Structure 1
Amino acid sequence: MNGPMGAAPQEGGPPPNPLQPLARRLQVLLDKSTPHTLYRWLGLVAVLLLYAVRVYLLKGFYIVTYALGIYNLNLLLGFLSPQANPELEGPTLPSKADEEFRPFVRRLPEFKFWWSSLKALLMGFTATFFPMFGVPVFWPILLLYWFILFFVTMKRQIMHMIKYRYIPFSLGKKSYGKNGKAPAKSNK
């Protein structure tokens, strides 16, 4: 067979992508890692620590680190924000006890948050091998500015959560009584 479904390959079409088998293998690994949330995040923390040690030993690349911090802050905001903006579309979450429950849907799902953070961290790690990205800066100013930006942004996000009454995290199913069982009804 010469091509897909036994057809002869067309001439003048796009050349085959030599990276396609690698992309498929990567997608299979990503698909298999999806249910293992804790291990994925522990792996991200390990890569982050490796990056931090490299930056500390090189005593440079603070601009790259600052850019990673800003990017991850932006990802965190997407993770904490609802998909439907209540300021533009009106409140979609119930505001009274008798309204219908609508679950919190994130603008940026957890897996995409993790994957984007990992890719950014690997790109930042790669950038540490190129001296042109090691621009000398006074890092305490960058750190102070990042903390100010973080606190101002988080304050605004928390005020948004309070105003529209949503919590981006669930702590699991509510339990009742001592052993997590619902209280028994009495026949009195």
Structure 2
Amino acid sequence: MQETLPQQARKQYFKAKQQLKQLENLTAGFSLYRWIGTTVLTVFYLLFVLLTHSHYAIVYFLYIYILSAFIQFISPKTGDSTVALPVSTTDLADAKNYQREMCEFDFWFVATIWTFISLILSFFPFTDIPVFWPVLVLYSIALTIAIVHKELQKWKSMNVDAKTAVKHWVGLNKPKYSQ
């Protein structure tokens, strides 16, 4: 019996999902190298845009998307303001229960894939939307300040100081085990 189009699409979706999980498992211990690769790709893309003096709108859209993903990465999984973030290394139970809205691998994957897609889109002249780039820079700065201020206010309402929360998010508050 021949498969229908939705069945084929579902099968391809699960196959792609399985391959992504396999990639996550293969690169689990190499997060530093993953981020170095993403940084190199991003620097290459930004140099390309700066040298060609084009595709500023794509860079702006990429920045907004990665900023949105970063906010998901640093936010706790529940949007409930009564859930406090773990802020001390002594409270390991809280540290184990803390879950991000977006895990580190997903954040890395989103940043890498969309930077690569932006690079590919920059090769096509029809994607070069004429914009006055200084306005985009000012708008990006204003948007970033507004979003970070909103997140800091949310942290204050949960009695979390920013320095400790940032240490937790980058993994400096993880328990140390002797070898």
TM interval, short-chain normalised: 0.7 to 0.9
Q: Which residue does the alignment assign to 2:2?
A: 11
Unaligned runs of 5+ in 1: 1-9, 176-180, 182-188
Aligned positions of 1:177-188 closer than 5 A? none
Q: Which residue does the alignment assign to 1:162?
A: 156
Q: Which residue does the alignment assign to 1:74?
A: 68
1:13-50: per-residue Cα shift (whole Å, max 9, x none)? 55978x89x95666544431122110011000000011
Give the aligned residue type for 1:134.
D
- 2:94 partner SS: coil
Name which of 35, 39, 55 aligns with 2:29.
Answer: 35
The whole-number CA distance in structure 2 between the counterparts of 1:121 and 1:173 is 30
User: Over aligned residue pairs, what C-alpha RMSD do you find?
Assistant: 3.0
- The answer to whether structure 1 residue 112 and structure 2 residue 112 are counterparts is no
Q: Which structure shows the higher helix fraction? A: 2
The whole-number CA distance in structure 2 between the counterparts of 1:85 and 1:125 is 34
The total of aligned residue pairs comes to 161
The whole-number CA distance in structure 2 between the counterparts of 1:83 and 1:151 is 23
Name which of 20, 24, 39 aligns with 1:45.
Answer: 39
- The answer to whether structure 1 residue 63 and structure 2 residue 57 are counterparts is yes
What TM-score, normalized by structure 1, do the two folds share? 0.73
Offset of 1:101 from its aligned partner?
4.2
Identity %, equivalent residues: 26
Q: Which residue does the alignment assign to 2:94?
A: 102
The whole-number CA distance in structure 1 between the counterparts of 2:39 and 2:49 is 15
Query: Which structure ranks higher in relative contact order (CA pairs < 8 Å, sequence separation ≥ 6)?
Result: 2
The whole-number CA distance in structure 1 between the counterparts of 2:117 and 2:68 is 17
- 1:129 partner SS: coil
The whole-number CA distance in structure 1 between the counterparts of 2:35 and 2:84 is 30
- 1:91 partner SS: coil
Q: Which residue does the alignment assign to 2:172?
A: 171
Cα pair 1:65 1:124 within 8 Å, conserved: yes
Give the aligned residue type for 1:11.
Q
Give the aligned residue type for 1:143.
V
- The answer to whether structure 1 residue 135 and structure 2 residue 136 are counterparts is no
